[in-house]
């Protein structure tokens, strides 16, 4: 359906990781790259798409967030400001003000996406508006939504998507949860994928904790049609992640991540650091999304530039110990070799009559 050679997708990762070079390298090695474009302007989406189209004829996807009804501006912000202020002081930054949230120019993002040459529009945090889905279809684009429970997968299928990403709780970055209780919706990939596969009539893409070809083979064994990997690609030289972020991931292990609302107000998995530990001790000081995201933005930008991982959102999944620093094309080729080797190893269990 996706017209790719191998069932390997580089996950969309909004926030500057997804460069054109990263996507081109994965595509040219036989996988498929997605641009996490939710924080990009229409112009930025056009620019990166132009670069990709100029350098590869292979299909790529764009990922956006459906527009969300914004939570009302919180009245009590003193606690939240107090909780982040020490970190701003340590970085010699002026204390943050809670500015009105600008939000994303969704209409421009969609306009640019429809004209980008991408063959897929994928999304997370809900269902795209009907008119957007219809417009994408008219352009011949496929639609892919993200689910963390069977109920969400069914809701996406009912809305008319072509495939569903089943995001297990091992995965890095924001949880895609949009229907159930976020805590109860933390289902591991091993349990989630087959349960989603069993109820859907459309293909399922496995995501969360897949770091090598064994993981890809496992996802296929569980009934998925493809595997989507995020964390594995962050340390690649083509990725736009800062050097300090890459180093932190390469040094961290499987027991060092937590799901936290500390940085954005929405649950996301990342490497534990001093900022998370401090905010987790005062959860009442964390504002809802997007206000918390705005509140920590200045700190995150400065910390990235200053190379200070203790103040950065180091989004990553539980597969951390398996991160490798390879070029994205070489990593994709390695994943292909590994899942083929895993399939060969497993084929001996398929012999015999009973």
Ligand X SMILES: Cc1cc2nc3c(=O)[nH]c(=O)nc-3n(C[C@H](O)[C@H](O)[C@H](O)COP(=O)(O)O)c2cc1C
In the complex, which residues of this chain contact ligand X (CB under 6 A)? 11-15, 17, 36, 38, 63, 124, 146, 167, 170-173, 207-210, 228-232, 315-317, 319
Q: Which is nearer to ligand X, 45 or 285 (CB)?
A: 45
* Least spacing, CB of residue 124 vs ligand X, in Å: 3
* Least spacing, CB of residue 5 vs ligand X, in Å: 20
Comparing CA positions, the residue from 64, 225, 227, 230 lying closest to residue 143 is 64
CA–CA dist 158, 53 (Å, integer) = 32
| Coil, helix or strand at residue 36 | strand
Residue 270 main-chain phi, psi, to 5 deg: -155, 175
Q: Which is nearer to ligand X, 170 or 238 (CB)?
A: 170
CA–CA dist 88, 92 (Å, integer) = 6
In contact, 134 and 152? CB cutoff 8 Å: no
78 contacts: CB under 8 Å, gap ≥ 6:
none
* Least spacing, CB of residue 161 vs ligand X, in Å: 13
Q: Which is nearer to ligand X, 68 or 90 (CB)?
A: 68
* Least spacing, CB of residue 209 vs ligand X, in Å: 5
Comparing every residue's Cβ against ligand X, the nearest one is 230
* Least spacing, CB of residue 1 vs ligand X, in Å: 18
Q: Which is nearer to ligand X, 263 or 291 (CB)?
A: 263
DSSP code of residue 93? -
Q: Which is nearer to ligand X, 192 or 232 (CB)?
A: 232
Q: Which is nearer to ligand X, 189 or 200 (CB)?
A: 189
**Helix, strand and coil in the chain, % to nearest 5:** 45, 15, 45
Residue 107 CB neighbours (<10 A): 11
* Least spacing, CB of residue 234 vs ligand X, in Å: 6
* Least spacing, CB of residue 33 vs ligand X, in Å: 12
**Tokens, residue 242:** 């800062």
* Least spacing, CB of residue 122 vs ligand X, in Å: 6
Q: Which is nearer to ligand X, 11 or 187 (CB)?
A: 11
Three-class SS of 284-352: HHCCCCCHHHHHHHHHHHHHHHHCCHHHCCCECCCCHHHCCCCCHHHHHHHHHHHHHHHHHHHHHHHCC
- Cis preceding-peptide flag for 290 (omega within 30 of 0): yes
Cα end-to-end distance, the chain, whole Å:
33
Q: Which is nearer to ligand X, 16 or 74 (CB)?
A: 16
């Amino acid at each position: 359906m996706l017209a790719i050679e191998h069932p390997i997708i580089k996950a969309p990762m909004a926030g500057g990781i997804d460069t054109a070079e990263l996507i081109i390298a994965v595509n040219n090695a036989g996988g498929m790259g997605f641009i996490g474009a939710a924080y990009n302007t229409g112009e930025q989406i056009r620019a990166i798409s132009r670069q990709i189209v100029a350098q590869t004829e292979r299909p790529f996807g764009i990922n956006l967030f459906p527009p969300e009804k914004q939570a009302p501006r919180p009245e009590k912000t003193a606690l939240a400001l107090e909780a982040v202020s020490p970190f701003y002081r340590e970085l010699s930054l002026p204390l943050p003000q809670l500015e009105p949230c600008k939000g994303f120019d969704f209409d421009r993002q969609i306009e640019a996406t429809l004209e980008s040459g991408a063959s897929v529009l994928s999304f997370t945090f809900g269902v795209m508006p009907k008119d957007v889905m219809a417009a994408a279809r008219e352009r011949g684009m496929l639609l892919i939504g993200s689910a963390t429970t069977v109920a969400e997968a069914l809701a996406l299928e009912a809305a008319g998507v072509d495939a569903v990403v089943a995001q297990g709780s091992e995965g890095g970055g924001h949880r895609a949860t949009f229907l159930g209780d976020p805590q109860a919706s933390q289902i591991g990939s091993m349990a989630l994928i087959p349960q989603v596969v069993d109820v859907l009539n459309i293909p399922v893409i496995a995501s969360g904790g897949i770091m090598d070809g064994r993981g890809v083979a496992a996802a296929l064994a569980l009934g998925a049609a493809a595997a989507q990997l995020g964390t594995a690609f962050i340390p690649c030289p083509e990725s736009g992640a800062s050097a300090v972020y890459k180093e932190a991931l390469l040094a961290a292990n499987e027991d060092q991540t937590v799901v936290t609302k500390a940085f954005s107000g929405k649950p996301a998995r990342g490497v534990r650091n001093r900022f998370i530990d401090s905010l987790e001790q005062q959860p009442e000081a964390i504002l809802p999304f997007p206000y918390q995201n705005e509140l920590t933005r200045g700190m995150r930008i400065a910390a990235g530039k200053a190379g200070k991982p203790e103040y950065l959102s180091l989004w990553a999944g539980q597969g951390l110990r398996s991160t490798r620093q390879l070029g994205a094309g070489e990593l994709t080729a390695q994943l292909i070799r590994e899942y083929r080797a895993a399939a060969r190893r497993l084929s001996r269990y398929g012999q015999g009559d009973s």
